[in-house]
């Protein structure tokens, strides 16, 4: 039964060069009609797949803060009608710094939002331009300051490395700037060039010069060392938090728990079935208006698939996988199902055992995808 819900706002004022999420330009879009369809989807979904208590809500995109303050107010009121926010432990909204005004922050606070995920990515004007971002460092500082001033102090900053034209000195400067903001959570990801993005088109033309893999690895090593030195615990491969500020919502995914996914292109996991919503706005809205549900894919997971996901999702966490939890969930000892793969990866120095737990080693963190692939189609 879901204890988490994700809501997708696909509108963007501009399109970033690396982004492959479901998104459309904001200008000229039927925003209010779309928000009304999300309201309908929430109502119908809860009727069909009821919940007992919600722990986390997460509004992502796209750019949720591309909505006007009035639109945010209407949407968040709809969320609260279906998911009482007084019971929620963590309520996150993704925020683009240049579009997150004080007025919008006050609307978020009014509706119970208690966490922001702020898309900084980098702090150098040249890199931000390369990424297609339209903010500058001052916008990030202003958003952090204004959020803290109204009482939203559970803040996360998103950073990227392995970017075109990014040097080691630039990345060190970015980490220093992020640390100076004194936020309790930092996420940092290496650039992945995904199909249907501007970067992908440029790479196909041979017009995208990325740092060598050795430099990207050096950046990741520096990230881990410097954040740990400054009191941030690496609780997941790409996520670092001060004690007590780990992302409860993302842990729902990594713990392989069920969740709602509301909005165009959103994914959900309910009653053992993974579902994908229609991505194109018109198709999404038509499906919701016709029958209340926008699903275009439904995949009922086999036990083998669920166990595989348990491994390659759970091993992203630094604490790893609990053998006891695995056996309680699936009725089979972990060593009986994946013993061969685990022992082989331990021999290679990529996994380690610590009592009941199995986790990535330092080398395993650097080669995470190689580790995870060993558990796909392994049962």
Q: How far apart are CA 215 and CA 236, in angstroms?
A: 21
Model confidence over 63-82: pLDDT tens digits? 999 999 999 999 999 999 99
Q: What is the pLDDT of residue 225?
A: 97
Report yes or no on whether pTM surpasses 0.85.
yes
**Tens-digit pLDDT profile for residues 88-123:** 999 999 999 999 999 999 999 999 999 999 999 999
Tell me 86's DSSP state.
Answer: G
Across the range 148-158, mean pLDDT stands at 97
**pLDDT range class, residue 237, cuts 50, 70, 90:** very high
Residue 308: how many CA atoms within 13 Å on its side-chain side? 13
pLDDT of 135 above 90? no
Domain end residue (candidates: 219, 254, 289): 254
Whether residues 117 and 233 share a domain: the answer is yes
Domain count, the chain: 2
Same domain? For 39 and 159 the reply is yes
Q: How far is CA 365 from CA 22, 157, 220, in A?
A: 29, 21, 10
Is residue 379 one of the residues assigned to a domain?
Answer: no
Same domain, 44 and 144: yes
In a domain, residue 296? The reply is no
User: What CATH number is attached to the domain comprising 328?
Assistant: 1.10.10.920
- pLDDT tens-place string over residues 195-227: 988 998 998 988 899 999 999 999 999 999 999
Look at 32-36, 55-59, 275-279, 303-307 and tell me which has the smallest mean pLDDT. Answer: 303-307
Per-residue pLDDT for 377 more than 80?
no
Residue 378: pLDDT band with limits 50, 70, 90: low
- The verdict on 56 and 161 lying in the same domain is yes
Whether residues 195 and 341 fall in one domain: no
What CATH number does the domain containing 241 carry? 3.80.30.20
In a domain, 269, yes or no: no
Boundary-marking domain end, from 225, 254, 283: 254
- Residue 338: which domain range? 303-373
Verify that 196 and 327 share a domain, yes or no.
no
Q: With respect to residue 274, please indicate whether it lies within any of the assigned structural domains.
A: no
Instruction: Say which residue the tokens 């995904």 belong to.
Output: 194
Between CA 262 and CA 278 the distance in angstroms is 11
Provide φ and ψ at 74, rounded to 5°: -65, -45
The answer to whether residue 288 is domain-embedded is no
- Domain membership flag for residue 234: yes
316 and 211 within one domain: no
**Same domain, yes or no: 76 and 148:** yes
Same domain, 162 and 220: yes
Q: Tell me, yes or no, whether 244 and 309 share the same domain.
A: no
As beta bridge partners, residue 233 has: 241
**Quick one: average pLDDT of 126-144?**
92
What is the rounded average pLDDT for all residues in the chain? Answer: 95
Residue 111 lies in a domain: yes
Where does the chain have alpha helices with state H? 31-48, 69-82, 102-110, 125-131, 137-149, 168-180, 198-204, 213-229, 248-254, 281-291, 303-314, 323-330, 334-347, 362-366, 368-373
314 and 241 share a domain? Answer: no
| Residue 163 resides in a domain | yes
Q: Are residues 194 and 81 in the same domain?
A: yes
Q: Which of 223, 238, 254 is the last residue of a domain?
A: 254
Give pLDDT, residue 15: 81
């Amino acid at each position: 039964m879901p204890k988490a819900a994700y809501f997708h706002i696909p509108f963007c004022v501009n399109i970033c060069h690396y982004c492959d999420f479901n998104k459309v330009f904001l200008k000229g879009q039927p925003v209010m009609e779309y928000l009304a369809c999300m309201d309908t989807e929430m109502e119908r979904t809860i009727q069909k797949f009821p919940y007992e208590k919600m722990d986390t809500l997460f509004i992502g995109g796209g750019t949720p803060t591309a909505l006007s303050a009035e639109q945010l107010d209407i949407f968040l009121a709809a969320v609260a009608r279906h998911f009482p926010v007084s019971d929620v432990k963590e309520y996150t909204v993704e925020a683009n710094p240049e579009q997150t005004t004080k007025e919008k922050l006050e609307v978020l606070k009014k509706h119970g939002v208690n966490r922001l995920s702020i898309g900084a990515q980098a702090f150098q004007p040249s890199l931000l331009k390369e990424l297609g971002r339209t903010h500058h460092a001052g916008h990030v500082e202003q958003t952090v300051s204004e959020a803290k001033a109204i009482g939203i102090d559970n803040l996360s900053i998103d950073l990227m490395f392995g970017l075109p034209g990014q040097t080691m000195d630039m990345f060190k400067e970015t980490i220093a700037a992020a640390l100076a903001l004194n936020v309790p959570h930092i996420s940092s990801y290496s650039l992945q060039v995904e199909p249907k993005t501007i970067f992908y088109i440029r790479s196909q033309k041979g017009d995208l010069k990325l740092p060598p893999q050795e430099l990207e690895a050096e950046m990741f090593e520096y990230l881990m060392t410097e954040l740990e030195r400054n009191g941030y615990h690496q609780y997941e491969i790409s996520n670092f938090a001060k004690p007590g500020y780990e992302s409860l919502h993302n842990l729902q995914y990594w713990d392989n728990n069920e969740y709602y996914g509301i909005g165009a292109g959103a994914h959900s996991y309910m009653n053992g079935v993974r579902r994908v919503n229609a991505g194109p706005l018109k198709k999404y809205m038509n499906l919701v208006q016709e029958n209340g549900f926008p699903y275009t894919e439904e995949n009922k997971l086999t036990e083998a698939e669920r166990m595989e996901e348990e491994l390659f999702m759970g091993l992203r966490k630094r604490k790893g996988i609990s053998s006891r939890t695995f056996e309680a969930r699936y009725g089979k000892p972990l060593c009986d199902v994946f013993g061969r793969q685990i022992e082989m990866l331990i021999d290679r120095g990529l996994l380690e055992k610590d009592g009941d737990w199995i986790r990535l080693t330092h080398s395993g963190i650097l080669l995470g995808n190689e580790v995870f692939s060993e558990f796909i189609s392994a049962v």
